[in-house]
Chains A and B, each alone.
Chain A
Amino acid sequence: MTTGRRATAGPLSDLRAVLAIAGKDLRSEARSRAATVATVFFSSVTLVVLAFALGRDSDLMTRAAPGVLWVALAFSGVISAAQAYQSDLADGAFEQLLTLPLPRAALFLGKLLANWFTMTVLGAVLLPVASVLFDAPIAGGVPQLLATVTLGTLGFAIVATFYAALTANLVARESLLPVLMFPVVVPVLLASVRATEAIVSGADPALAGDWIELLAGFDLVYLVVTSAIFHIVVEE
């Protein structure tokens, strides 16, 4: 035997596998830009069109900003998730990965990490853009807003990564993915919108904190459940 494979079991090797899968996905996306171009274009158009439509009423715009921001993020996230497994499926690369001694949960967490990172970066970019376009003050609540974006995109990415795997081999995956995932991800989106609203309005800082805690709770439950059952999704 030629290469002397090391023992692969253990948390450290699992963490290494998670990072390797995430790194592979981010490197592939950086080179192909398959999802980046579509998500940036779609979210920009959403923000600009809605800002234009609501443009005469600054009070209405400020109130609409949290909802518009999360609509743009959610629909961009679906586009990104639909692409998440396409490079894996081409040429049987995912099939090959699944024959390696790699925990299914590590594979899922690696894909999730890459999706989450992409969505968080998009959220961090859209946040100031939406603030300017919709005249929504964010300067006083930047740390809380970043926490909301981070946790909201995490919850969304967990559900999106899971359902994208479920639909990856289907012909109608683009239409089925949002139909299946949105009913599940609605609690995350509502909590994200409410938290953002509370921060932007500045009315009740404690209320924002409550919504952020609820978001963290949703994320934890979704993460545990999807990691535990991901192996069912990828077995044939």
Chain B
Amino acid sequence: MSGSEAAAVELDDVGRRWGRERVLREISLRVAPGRLVALNGSNGSGKTTLLRLLATRLRPSSGRGRIFGHDLVREAAAVRRRIGYLSVQSGSYGTLSARENLKLVATLVGADPAAVDSALRRVGLEPHADRRVRVFSSGMKRRLGLARLLLTDAELWLLDEPYASLDEDGRVLVDGLLDEAKRDGRTVLVVSHEPERLVGRVDAAIRLEQGRLHAVPLQARPRPEVPS
């Protein structure tokens, strides 16, 4: 992953500690714009910490990082204008409806209010648009998170387990969004515990083990046969 223009993601020896524990160790990474990269790793390997760091929610304890040439710490505001972050949590207000949640985001990011309805339609939540999110299932909350991502219209997507809690229709929706992101030239860093789903869709895969980054080959695992 290299290129002469500013890298979408560039990390130099980045580390992150929680107290005495070193969660990320000397992470160096360069992702060229427009590439889709899968980030794998076992539970507790530091995947979410790495995404939160790229989303400017955590500061590196050591090293430095840049998003599209903007420093993660000193130019965090500029970084936030370029990223869309889908966290493992729903990230929505339970007392508000799906539509109200998205209208809030649209106002905050300066998106066209009309985009709210199209985002709801796109993720299949239009019939539930005026229901409060606290009655949503975890899969519906995930779909709402995807709608929020569409509203932010970012150049770099940081997706933390986008397939989690989704039914097959929802998984196909995520597949479609990833394919569309690639066509639109977005850069995507996607964490998933289903690497076989991403084969043929991503350009590269990396693996975090105990806070250290390793490149891994893209290999298709045979899908289980499901009788029709």
Contact = CB atoms under 8 A, between A and B. Distances in A.
A7 B153 CA distance: 12
A32 B95 contact: yes
Contacts of B59: 235-236
B153 A100 contact: no
A3 B92 contact: no
B96 A101 contact: no
Interface residues of A, number: 35
A8 interface: yes
B80 A96 contact: no
Contacts of B91: 91-93, 95-96
Most buried by B among A17, A24, A100: A100
Contact of A92 (B89, B111, B150, B186): B89
Interface in B116-150: 118-119, 132, 141, 148, 150
B96 A27 contact: yes
B162 to A, nearest CB: 14
Nearest to B90: A91
A98 to B, nearest CB: 6
Contact of B110 (A13, A87, A235): A13
Given A5-B109, A8-B109, A99 B56 contact: yes
Nearest to A92: B89
Contact of A8 (B110, B119, B150): B110
A95 B112 CA distance: 23
A5 B111 contact: yes
B108 A3 contact: no
Interface in A13-37: 13, 16-17, 20-21, 24, 27-28, 31-32
Interface residues of B, number: 42
B184 to A, nearest CB: 6
Contact of A3 (B88, B119, B155): B119
Interface in A74-92: 87-88, 90-92
A8 B94 CA distance: 26
Contacts of A6: 110-112
Interface of A: 1-8, 13, 16-17, 20-21, 24, 27-28, 31-32, 87-88, 90-93, 95-103, 235-236
26 contacts: A2-B115, A3-B112, A3-B150, A3-B153, A4-B112, A5-B109, A5-B110, A8-B109, A17-B108, A24-B100, A27-B95, A28-B93, A28-B95, A91-B94, A92-B88, A92-B89, A92-B91, A93-B91, A95-B87, A96-B89, A96-B92, A96-B148, A99-B55, A101-B77, A102-B109, A235-B59
